[in-house]
Chain A
Amino acid sequence: MAGLTLEHLYKRYDNSGKKKKTVNDYAVKDLNLVCEQGEFIAFLGPSGCGKTTTLRMIAGLEEITQGNIYIGDRLVNNLHPKDRHIGLAFEDYAMYPPLNVYGNVAFNLRAKGVDKNEIDRRVREIAPLMQIDDLLDKMPVKLSGGQKQRVNIARAIIREPELLLMDEPLSHLDGKARQAMRVEIKRLINKIRCTTIYVTHDQLEAMSLADKIAIINFGVLQQFGTPTEVYDDPVNEFVASFIGEPPMNILETTIAKINDKFFFTFKDSNLQIAVPKRYYSVVQDGFRCKMGVRPMDVLVGGPDSDGTPEEIATFENLGDERRIGIHVGDVLLMLITEDEKRYKRGDIIKLEVREEKTHLFDIETGDRIREKQEA
């Protein structure tokens, strides 16, 4: 096992073979990341953000345009994939159809010429871990998607890799199987404590599995932190709206000063939300920015509430919870209620916002506006 270090990593796909001689933008731009030994890191981002490209560069399947990759202390830039001591598990299972599960799991070790008894010992050791002990004699066609993915992961970890790389291993599975498999992966990694890079576009998978999440957009690392950090303390609007379901409400706002107090005000809406005191040093009357607040931090006030009366535009009863949408200008502000009350469109509720939970973002760049730290 070893840690992983990415230093100023760049990737630009070469377009020279094509007729149009346009210069591609970087698929990965100046990526720096240190992953400690035994950590589970998720690369999270929308499709096309460069997360898989990065993974493939780490695996050695893609050339590096610029920068360095270290596995442990070893610079692996020019190392052949087979010499990097990595285990790979892809989205599609790519199994050898004529071999049974045992044969598939043992394939790599056999190719390396590992002793037969040793192979058998390792297969028998890993099979119960991945719950495939009953499947060893089966052929791949007989397996369900979830079972195939188990075999696929078993095959990756049997090599006792220094680094385990997984590329959307759950995206082929349906909802229920995915949920079950997520739990299994979590337990497995907890047991073998192998340094793992896990690529996904599903924020829920990243949040539930990873020790740390690297959020990438347009090839640029946006934020690298624990799930709690990226959820509670996002660095910009992109991270804030990418993490969490339903996503954070983000509204354009103009700050107004009323009786020496600052309020968020919104175009075409009577809603006013007090600005937390800690932001007083960075805002002034007429300041324009974006305000973000998570749907769980918007509440329906009781009868004595002094919240703003607002009309319900949408009410969705989802069984486990209920979601209310309120028009603030042309944006729908979402909130979640867990009370059993059934509202309907047109009902008036008193809207309360947990002011201390609001975030401010720059209206142009989307960067977080933070309170000034005291010197």
Chain B
Amino acid sequence: MARITLENIRKAFGKVQALDGISLDIKDNEFFVLFGPAGAGKTTILNCIAGITMPEEGTISFNGEIMNLIDPAHRNVAMVFENYALFPQMTVYDNMASALRSKLYREDEAVIKERIDKAARMMKMEKLLERLPSQLSNGQKQRVAMGRALVRTPNVFLMDEPLAHLDAKLRNSMRTELKEMQANLGSTCIYVTHDFMEAMALGDRIAIINKGKIVQIGSGDEIYYMPCNEFTAELMGDPQINIIPAEIYKSGSGYGAEMIVNGSKVRHELPEDKGVFAKIQERGLVKVDLGIRPQHIKYAFAPADGYFKTTVYSYESIGNKSVITAECGAYQLRMIAPNGLNVDIDSDIYIKLELDRSILFDPDSKKYLTRYDEEAIKSFAVKEVQ
């Protein structure tokens, strides 16, 4: 168990600045997710904490004690890799026992057995202990790799995309299982992933990493509802959020938004929201990007009040629901629809945006400005960190 603190970590591989000033404060017993696209530097952060990679600048401390010069073995971290890294000639039991039997720990065989039995129960693999890795499926291999970490009582668990090698179905069920185990881990855990569902489901807090920098840190809800920029907004959610360029105009006592749809102007009154209106006034906003998630766009196949006309670009059924993509000229709008609709490509569709769910971004810097119901969302999404 440990509180992990990183201060201004920098690391370059040749000309590439892999980590560009990373500072993190991960609490004791926290499940902390590092999330970002491939090549963002997530694994490098993990390797720095494990001691596999030496940062060029900055400090890494466990419970306030600087670890930079401690070698990996003595940092007491347990790592789970994407590609399992099991010893092929050893049974599952011996694989799990390997760390405890090493020179460093030399645990009693009785203690080892007790710990392995406990971990095996937790991972539901009691029946696999005598098998060799070659006799296991990929999901089982990953369980063994995790089990091998769980038998120890490390300062921190470091998990590097442990589910990425598994097929979609298995990944989902393993994610749920991991979530169930989370309460029993009894240690700090840092988890690297590029899958937003894993990040949302597992993380007490999530750090969004891009190009070696931290973009945002917050709870899943905070990042989903109040993404600090368009990049983060697009990472969370599938199908991804719609970003619509709009111009703000004054309308009576309130405001409206004007959008270009297939070359013609479409005007919508903005629903009243004190926070949003105050922001518009205070910043004198003229141009904004409206972020609207696919589930917040309504559609109809006949003209209706408040709906604007456009054409269907594609219609895809994705199991329990479908995605309609509508063509709007410079951009496309994705929206969620039920299954079994008879939608022809290039046919007419009428669309209404639920503007009272929108997020406002600055079109130049792409940064978060404000959103509807910001106060209400803050109250449940933003958690204080002690």
A residues near B (Cβ < 8 Å) are 46, 174-176, 179, 182-183, 186-187, 190, 201-204, 207-209, 227-228, 231, 242-247, 294-296, 313-320, 323, 325, 332, 334, 336, 338, 342, 345
Contact = CB atoms under 8 A, between A and B. Distances in A.
A362 to B, nearest CB: 22
B339 A231 contact: yes
Nearest to A191: B345
Please give me the 7 A-B residue pairs with the lowest Cβ-Cβ distance, nearest first.
Answer: A208-B316, A316-B201, A319-B224, A183-B314, A314-B179, A244-B319, A314-B180
Given A174-B38, A202-B168, A332-B176, A345 B183 contact: yes
A319 B339 contact: no
Nearest to B202: A316
Nearest to B180: A314
B175 interface: yes
A317 B221 contact: yes
Given A183-B325, A228-B339, A319-B224, A208 B317 contact: yes
Chain B's interface size range is 35 or more
A98 B9 CA distance: 43
Interface stretch (B88-96, B128-136, B233-241, B250-258): B233-241
Interface string B180-224: 100100000000000011001100000000000000000011001
Contacts of A247: 169, 172
Contacts of A246: 172
Contact of A318 (B38, B201, B320): B201
Given A245-B319, A296-B320, A314-B176, A187 B313 contact: yes
Given A201-B167, A317-B220, A319-B196, 7 more contacts: A179-B239, A203-B319, A246-B172, A296-B320, A313-B180, A317-B200, A320-B293
A183 B327 CA distance: 12
B380 interface: yes
Contact of B220 (A175, A187, A245, A319): A319
B340 interface: yes
Contacts of A203: 319
A175 B197 CA distance: 13
B318 interface: yes
B44 interface: no
Contacts of A183: 313-314, 316, 325
A190 B345 contact: yes
Contacts of B319: 203-204, 207, 231, 243-245
Contacts of A296: 320
Given A317-B200, A319-B220, A208 B240 contact: no
A245 B172 contact: yes
Contacts of B175: 316
B295 interface: yes
A204 B173 CA distance: 17
Contacts, number: 99
Interface string B152-177: 00000000000000011100110111
A319 B169 CA distance: 19
Majority DSSP secondary structure for residues of A touching B? mixed
19 contacts: A176-B240, A186-B314, A186-B345, A187-B345, A207-B319, A208-B323, A245-B320, A314-B176, A317-B201, A318-B196, A318-B200, A319-B220, A320-B237, A323-B176, A325-B176, A332-B173, A332-B180, A338-B295, A345-B183
Contacts of B173: 332
Contacts of B323: 208
B317 A245 contact: no
A244 B168 CA distance: 11
Nearest to A47: B167
Contacts of B179: 314-316, 325
Contacts of B240: 176, 179
B38 A319 contact: no
A207 B168 contact: no
Most chain B beta-carbon contacts within 10 A, residue among A175, A183, A332, A334: A183
B234 to A, nearest CB: 8
Nearest to A315: B179
A190 B347 CA distance: 13
Interface string B297-317: 000000000000000011011
A332 B183 CA distance: 17
Nearest to A341: B380
Contacts of B221: 317, 342
A152 B238 CA distance: 27
Given A187-B313, A208-B316, A325 B180 contact: yes
B329 to A, nearest CB: 16
Nearest to A176: B240
Contacts of A204: 318-319
B328 to A, nearest CB: 15
Nearest to B314: A183
Given A314-B179, A342-B380, A187 B314 contact: yes
Contacts of B176: 314, 316, 323, 325, 332, 334
Contacts of A295: 320
A175 B293 CA distance: 18
B17 to A, nearest CB: 23
Nearest to B380: A342
Nearest to B315: A186
Given A176-B240, A208-B317, A294-B320, A245 B168 contact: yes
Nearest to A231: B319
A105 B9 CA distance: 48
A204 B316 CA distance: 9
Interface in B35-69: 38
A42 B173 CA distance: 25
A29 to B, nearest CB: 23
Contacts of A314: 176, 179-180
Contacts of A182: 316
Contacts of B236: 319
A182 B316 CA distance: 9
B237 A207 contact: no
A342 B333 CA distance: 29
A175 B196 CA distance: 11
Contacts of B201: 316-318, 323
B210 to A, nearest CB: 14
B383 to A, nearest CB: 11
A244 B238 contact: no
A179 B172 CA distance: 19
A207 B295 contact: no
Contact of B318 (A186, A208, A319): A208
